[in-house]
Chains A and B, each alone.
Chain A
Amino acid sequence: MSAKLARRDHRAAWLFLLPVLVVILLVAVWPLARTFYFAFTDAYLDDPSVYSIVWFDNFIEVLNDRSWWVAVRNTLVFTVISVAIETGLGLAIALLLNAAIPGRGLARAAILVPWAIPVVVATKMWEWMLNDQFGVINKILSGLGLVDHGIAWTASSSLIMGVVIFVDVWMTTPFMVLLILAGLQLISPEIFEAADVDGIPAWKRFWSITLPMLRPAIGVAVLFRVLDALRMFDLAYVLAASNENVMTVSIYARDRLISFQELGVGSAASTWVFLLVALVAIIIIGVLRLDRAAGT
């Protein structure tokens, strides 16, 4: 066996992988391990070297905290609703931009703008537009006679989650559009021409041709978006720093860790976040796989 040549190649491969492995160990594996470790201690951030092991106390403390469960509920509500809207809207816009209409090139470029804008900036822009007294949205609404005085979008506890979802949809729909558009462009136009010649009505074409063929693209896009939405931090934080109505699990964990300096409890909360995201990822990937298996 000429294992010698192969071994040389393997050695070369590890050499090329060395930088990425060092980085992964340094900024991912090691910090992750430390977080897991701290989760079992009663350490505080001001002096992390003094601590004792408290085993599962921190994990239990987090679970007994009403705020944690509020944060979990907020995160799940936010994820499900925003990803659902983004998928629907993304699909609609992608179909529109895939049609041969004048100006779609421009629109394809324009759609990237909300995606490229920093979350903080987008949040501030919408906060300003949704301002209760001077916001342009309220001005338009009262101009149309729909409301008689400005709605306090961002101050009202019942509306603020809606605002967070709305802004997130504005920012991340482009990502959906791009992935779905890429999926659409993989479908050969001849399939549609064939359906056209066969006289299949538009809605049926959509349900039985377009949608099934887009399933992989949409699946991947939804997976990415869900995992991203579950760790959402900046949008809610900038809009309403510690408003319980939009507190996500990431904000909760960071609050315990940084604001309250509770290294131990904060790490335990982070670990729960990790498990939550891992669980959802496994479920979604499982569903996608099953789908694929059922399809073949």
Chain B
Amino acid sequence: MDTATLSRPLRKPSSFHRAKRRIVRGLQIFALLLVLVYTLFPYYWAFVSSTKQGAALYHSALVPALDFTYYRQLIDNPIFMGSLLNSAYVAVCTTFLSLVIGVSAAYALGRIEFPQRRAVLMIVLMISIFPQVVVLSGMFELINWFGLFNRPSALILTYLLSTVPFTTWILTTFIREFPRELEEAAIIDGCSHFRILTKILLPLMGPSLASTGILAFILAWNEFLFALTFTLTDENRTVPVAIGLIAGTSRYEYPFGQIMAASVTVTLPLIAVVLVFQRRIVAGLTAGAVKG
């Protein structure tokens, strides 16, 4: 073998190469299937389990029983529907505010030359990595001052901690991609900075805003620590906390059926969004990381 690598490799018959290529292709497809099962089966299984009633739940039949009792129960459950509404309210408001604040900051950071630009960018980046638990005590005080304790609106305020640095960062990289001349043309045409942002850049930023907004929405929809800490009563909870806190009377009566139904319900919109906007999400995720 050692000498063979030094001299010119022996030429194998093409049937050998064809067979080899087939085997490699076969292995790749098998691996791909494995990846698909690994990523999708848990969600599928949650759906299967959520449509089984009583003892059937404990049998591991792979096909769904398509009994939607649990879902009906969820719809009739005002607490769960309330938490769904809370989640939607909090996530939508957080997304909207973070986009508005982020676009404004991104314009300054991406488009205007000023001496402290790099410093501000570094601060924004640093805040996006610090652990939420660190601000818990101070945040508690802040929320009490605003009189927002145990209100979903408190969560909007606290979520800005995670979403604003992140939307600012990503939108800055997106805004930098526009040719400088577009803006210079607008300056010559007499536009103020505000008009450049609203009339020239914003109309062109639809896809970037979608990418960033989806990421912010998912972040806000899924948040747990602040939601757990700053809401106390059931009617003010968001869905993740509501699901996290569902408990049975004992370990053996754990209501897995209901939990799976709730899980499927809150995840369905996310999965729909993810599948539809796959490209935009990937664009957003990588804009922040690879180019930054």
A residues touching B (Cβ–Cβ < 8 Å)?
6, 9-10, 12-20, 23-24, 26-28, 30-35, 38, 45, 48, 93, 96-97, 99, 101-104, 106-126, 128-129, 131, 133-134, 136, 139-140, 170, 174-175, 178-179, 182-183, 186, 199, 217, 220-221, 224, 227, 230-231, 233-234, 237-238, 249-250, 253-254, 257-258, 263, 266-267, 270-271, 273-274, 277-278, 281
Contact = CB atoms under 8 A, between A and B. Distances in A.
5 contacts: A23-B101, A116-B273, A258-B229, A270-B134, A270-B135
B105 A35 contact: no
Given A12-B112, A27-B158, A253 B36 contact: no
**Which of A9, A110, A182, A267 has most chain B Cβ within 10 Å?**
A110
A278 B126 CA distance: 9
B225 interface: yes
A212 to B, nearest CB: 16
Contact of A124 (B38, B101, B263): B263
Top 7 A-B pairs ranked by shortest CB distance? A31-B138, A34-B138, A231-B131, A16-B108, A20-B105, A31-B135, A234-B224
Specify the main secondary structure of chain B where it touches its partner.
Answer: helix
A27 B161 contact: yes
Contacts, number: 281
Nearest to A186: B290
B140 interface: yes
Bin the interface of chain B by size.
35 or more
A108 B285 CA distance: 14
Contacts of B285: 175, 178-179
**Which of B158, B260, B286 has most chain A Cβ within 10 Å?**
B286
Interface in B124-144: 124, 127, 129-142
B193 interface: yes
A123 B224 CA distance: 12
Specify the main secondary structure of chain A where it touches its partner.
Answer: helix
Nearest to B29: A101
Given A101-B32, A129-B45, A31 B139 contact: yes
Contacts of B69: none
Contacts of A17: 104-105, 108-109, 120
Contacts of B137: 31, 34-35, 38, 257, 263, 266-267, 270
A32 B117 CA distance: 23
Contacts of B266: 118, 121
Contacts of A140: 60
A124 B259 contact: yes
Contacts of A220: 289-290, 292
Given A104-B32, A199-B9, A122 B42 contact: yes
